Every structure is written in C-alpha cells, then in structure tokens.
C-alpha cells in the first residue's frame, strides 16, 4: 500500500550540539522589522497570511556584501510566537542566532523583540523564513542575498547585464487536509487560480493579477537567483527557447554546468543560473509551429505531484488545483504581450549532485564517526515524520534552549533525553547516512552546516547499516545545505522493497 501522508513542514533539521567559538565583526547593515498579519491576494484568492512591516514577506529582502554584518531587530506583532531562520548560513560563533525556537533561542512571544546579529560566512543566494509552525508557507519568508566583494567574481560572472531573484513557491488558501497538497503555485508571489473553482467553494476570486515580468536585451547575459520557498512542492524550472548554465548551488560556486533547459529544484534549495539572451535575429516557433520574432517568452515552474513527490496521487488533487506557475521574459524594443511560446519537448538537465564545485575537495576514506538516521511517516493522523523510530511528538523542548544550557556550564550529556541531542567531538570528520523507508522523496536541511553529498541511491537496510554501499564520491563532491533523499524502490503495490539513502560528510567545526 502507499504511504498516505506527506510532511507539511518539509524541512527536517538535524541539530548538532558541541562547543562554542567566536568570529570577528564587520560593517553593520541594520533592518527593523515588525512581523505583522498580511492580507494576501497572490493568486486572486484572499488569504490571511503573514508579512513584514504590514507588507508581504517577499519584499523584506536582506541584500548585503560578503563581510557585512547583519542586524535584524524583529518585533512580533502576531497573536502567536515566531522566530526567523537564516537558511544556508553557517552562524559560526553566532549559533544562538540560527532561529529555532526552543533550541537555539527562546520563543519570541507576542509584542516581544529579538535582535538577530550575524555575519554571513559566504556569498551566494540564501533565504530567511519563519521556523515556527506553518508561518513560512503562509508568506513569512524572503530572499537573503550576499554579493561577492569586488575582485572576487568568477570570469563568467563579470559581464552580467543584470540579475533577478526568482522566488518559487506553492500557495495554500487554508491549512490543507491530509495528505496535504497546495492550491496553486507562484513565481515571485504572482499566480492565477481557477476562479470558477474558487467561487464554487465560496471564495471570492479576482483575475486581475498579472504574472511577474523580467526584461532581457538581445545578446546579453543575465544572472537568475532561483529560490524554492515552498512548503511541499518541488519544481522543474525552465524558460521557453532559452538554455542556461548553473553556476552556484545553495550558495556554493560551481564550474559552469553543461547547457540545460530544465532544472529540478526542491524545497529550500537555491540555484544561480546564467541565461544568455537570444540574438535579435533569432527565429522561434510557437505551439502551433508558427514563426515568431524576438518578443516575449514564458518562464515556467512546474510543480511535481503524485508519488514519489507527494502523498496525494495525481487523481486526488482538489478542484481548481494548479501545478504550473508562469512568468514572462520581455525583450527590450518589443511590445510586452502575453507569450505564445511552447514549453520544451525534450528535457536536458543535470542531476543535483553532478555539478562540479569551483573549490574541489578530497575527503578521507574513513570517517571518524558514522551516524545512521532513518525517517518514516508516523501512524498519527497529522502526518508527522519520525526519525530513528521516535514519534514526532516525543520531542519536548527543554525549559531553556540547549545552547543556553551548555553556555551555563552544562554538557550535552546532561540534556534531557527529550532534546534528542547527539554528541560528537569537535574537529572530527563525520558521516551521516539518511535512510528513507518511504515511497516519497524528501528534502532534508542541516542547520549551520553545508555537508558534502558523497552517495545516494537505494539499498537494503542491512547494506546501509554495514556501510556496504555503492562507492562513495570522495573526490570533488558537491557541498549542500539542502538536498533530496531518494525514495525506496517499490513493488507493484507501491510497497517498499528496500530503502532510499543519502550519504553526507562534514567536519564538526561549528559548535552548537
């Protein structure tokens, strides 16, 4: 039988508790934010959402240069607690700024103020989001961009005409039933829902919202920073009639990839891509094979659903369900119209672990420590995940965040069992094997670390436990903070016959 439920909050965190360290500070960039309710009409349907300073969350952009300090003064004007996580940043020396209520900080209650103070450790595309309940999938999130310093650009980054941030997300009109599925998907928080379906459900709906538009000039190069800010949906991203190269993944610089026309991007992941605009003399064809001159082109984000992407099958989606978000590329000197271009009929892509990092690393053959973490769906009706057989609600936040406990002189061993802490020695090279005993893929995020991904596939549970896996990629592996754990292989009844696994390596150099 199939697993009936999928995790609504799709980013599982692995919290490591070790010792403390300090780093230097630099130029200060201050942001004053109030977390406020926000009335969102992103797809034509009115939704009670969350935002910053009475505006949408996506407009609250942190944009700095590497070496700058960031200081966010955050006041909670909601009726419930909140906190913010800075997704992809290492927080070395500022582990208490990571933004996980009850673990790295106290809950930020109504009318409370917290000051987040940290220095990004690398340049790249990141994002901030609430780490409390389902707030971020109702809009409490936005981009965090760290630019490279002058003189640090790669050769392929030096002649960029302009850069655009492209935020992909699923969108919900209310907390969904189990198994969860979105109502629609958005590009830069613009989309269009089926108003007939909305009105049949008693929802007011407008068709006035227009898709996001981006401007290209013929023959120029553009940097697009892609961020999947969704709660459940993974996407295939493409631009009609345009190929591109990946030059960074999750804030890690990559050698320019092969040309591709489609890119898979899972929840929480980010990619920097370079798109070369078409020349003015280029000729294209629309979906009816009619010749077109250079004009407007569709940008597409196609959400993946049904097994192995979601627990809800393709024939169980609700009325009005939308799985494709659209935006428009307009060329300078042409009339801005709705495109008639066709999507790619043949997909050319690169697997998420097959990119080549600019700074290559050779890892040791044998790790100092090895941890196997298995996760599965619990039998509880809410569809919670469990890790290593423990129920989701077995976790109980301690009376004070564990980081505070350790700072007061206690040890990791003295933490209560409900904290689910795993202690490892500072400086050790650690291997973590994530085991997926489900027929659904799952994104996984490790806070404050960007481990190397050295292996992925399916195997028996015995092979995983014994380490008898396909040869690991220890020479030049990619480094990621968010990655996809593959599903198990299934039989004719969609029952697992083995397990999916992902092998990570990292140095335990970031206490906390």
Three-state secondary-structure class, residue 482: strand
Written as six digits, the tokens of 85 are: 């996580």
DSSP 42: S
Q: What are the boundaries of each domain within the chain?
A: 12-154, 156-331, 369-507
Q: What is the mean pLDDT of residues 61-80?
A: 98
pLDDT given for residue 385 in this prediction: 42
pLDDT given for residue 380 in this prediction: 42
Written as six digits, the tokens of 368 are: 């100092």
Q: Which residue has the tokens 């940043």?
A: 89
d(C-alpha 137, C-alpha 160), whole Å: 32
pLDDT given for residue 407 in this prediction: 80
Residues 6+ apart with CB under 8 A from 468: 459, 462
User: pTM above 0.85?
Assistant: yes
DSSP 230: -
pLDDT given for residue 416 in this prediction: 73
pLDDT given for residue 396 in this prediction: 59
Q: Which of 3, 451, 10 is nearest to 266 (CA)?
A: 10
Written as six digits, the tokens of 374 are: 């298995």
DSSP string covering 393-440: GG----SS-HHHHHHTT--GGGS-GGG------TT-EEEEEEEE-SSS
From the candidate CATH numbers 2.60.40.10, 3.40.140.10, 2.60.40.420, 3.40.50.1100, the one assigned to the domain spanning 12-154: 2.60.40.420
Q: Which residue has the tokens 């650690």?
A: 430
- What would the pLDDT profile of 223-266 be if each residue is shown by its tens digit? 999 999 999 999 999 999 999 999 999 999 999 999 999 999 99
Within 10 angstroms of residue 60's Cβ, the number of other Cβ atoms is 20
pLDDT bucket at 30, cuts 50 / 70 / 90: very high
Residues 6+ apart with CB under 8 A from 158: none
Fold topology of 369-507: Immunoglobulin-like (2.60.40)
Fold topology of 156-331: Immunoglobulin-like (2.60.40)
* CA distances to 8, 113, 489 from 197, in Å: 23, 41, 36
Model confidence at 377: pLDDT above 80: no
Most confident of 89-93, 188-192, 335-339: 188-192
Same fold: 156-331 with 369-507: yes
For residues 410 and 267, the model is more confident at: 267
Model confidence at 457: pLDDT above 60: yes
Q: Please report which residue ranges of 116-214 form alpha helices under DSSP H.
A: 195-200
Model confidence at 433: pLDDT above 80: yes
d(C-alpha 128, C-alpha 137), whole Å: 12
Model confidence at 346: pLDDT above 80: yes
> Range with the lowest mean pLDDT among 24-33, 131-140, 315-324, 467-476?
24-33
Written as six digits, the tokens of 494 are: 């969609």
């Amino acid at each position: 039988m199939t697993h009936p439920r999928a995790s609504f909050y799709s980013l599982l965190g692995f919290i490591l508790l070790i010792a403390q360290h300090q780093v230097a500070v630099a130029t200060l960039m201050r942001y004053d934010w109030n977390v406020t309710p926000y009335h969102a009409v992103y797809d034509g349907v009115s939704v009670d959402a969350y935002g910053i300073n009475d505006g949408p969350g996506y407009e609250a952009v942190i944009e700095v240069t590497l070496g700058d300090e960031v200081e966010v003064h955050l006041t909670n004007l909601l009726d419930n607690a909140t906190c913010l996580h800075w997704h992809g940043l290492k927080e070395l020396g500022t582990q208490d700024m990571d933004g996980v209520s009850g673990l790295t900080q106290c809950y930020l209650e109504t009318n409370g103020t917290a000051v987040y103070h940290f220095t990004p450790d690398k340049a790249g595309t990141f994002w901030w989001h609430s780490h409390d309940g389902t707030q971020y999938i109702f809009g409490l999130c936005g981009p965090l961009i760290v630019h490279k310093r002058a003189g640090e650009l790669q050769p392929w980054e030096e002649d960029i005409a302009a850069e655009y941030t492209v935020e992909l997300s699923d969108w919900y009109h209310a907390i969904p039933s189990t198994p969860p599925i979105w109502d629609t998907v958005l590009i830069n928080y613009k989309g269009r829902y089926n108003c007939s379906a909305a009105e049949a459900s008693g929802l007011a709906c407008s068709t006035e919202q227009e898709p996001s538009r981006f401007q290209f000039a013929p023959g120029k190069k553009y940097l697009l920073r892609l961020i999947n800010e969704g709660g459940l949906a993974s996407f295939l991203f493409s631009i009609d009639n345009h190929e591109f190269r990946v030059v960074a993944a999750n804030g890690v610089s990559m050698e320019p990839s092969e040309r591709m026309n489609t890119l898979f991007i899972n929840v929480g992941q980010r990619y920097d891509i370079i798109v070369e605009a078409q020349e003015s003399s280029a000729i294209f064809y629309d979906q009816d094979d009619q010749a077109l001159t250079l004009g407007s082109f569709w940008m597409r984000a196609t959400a993946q659903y049904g097994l192995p992407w979601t627990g809800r099958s393709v024939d169980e989606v609700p009325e009005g369900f939308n799985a494709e978000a659209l935006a428009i590329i307009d060329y300078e000197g042409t009339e801005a119209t709705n495109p008639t271009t066709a999507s790619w009929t043949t997909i050319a892509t690169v697997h998420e672990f097959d990119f080549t990092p600019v700074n290559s690393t050779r890892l040791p053959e044998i790790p100092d420590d090895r941890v196997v973490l298995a996760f599965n769906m619990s039998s509880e009706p809410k569809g919670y995940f469990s890790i290593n057989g423990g129920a989701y609600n077995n976790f109980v936040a301690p009376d004070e965040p564990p980081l505070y406990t350790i700072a007061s002189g206690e040890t990791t061993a003295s933490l209560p069992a409900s904290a689910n802490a795993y202690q490892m020695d500072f400086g050790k090279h650690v291997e973590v094997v994530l085991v997926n005993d489900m027929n659904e893929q799952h994104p996984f995020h490790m806070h404050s670390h960007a481990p190397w991904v050295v292996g992925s596939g399916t195997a028996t549970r015995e092979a995983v436990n014994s380490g008898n896996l396909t040869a690991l990629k220890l020479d030049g592996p990619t480094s990621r903070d968010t990655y996809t754990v593959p599903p198990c292989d299934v039989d004719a009844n969609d029952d697992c016959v083995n397990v999916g696994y992902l092998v990570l390596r990292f140095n335990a150099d970031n206490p906390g």
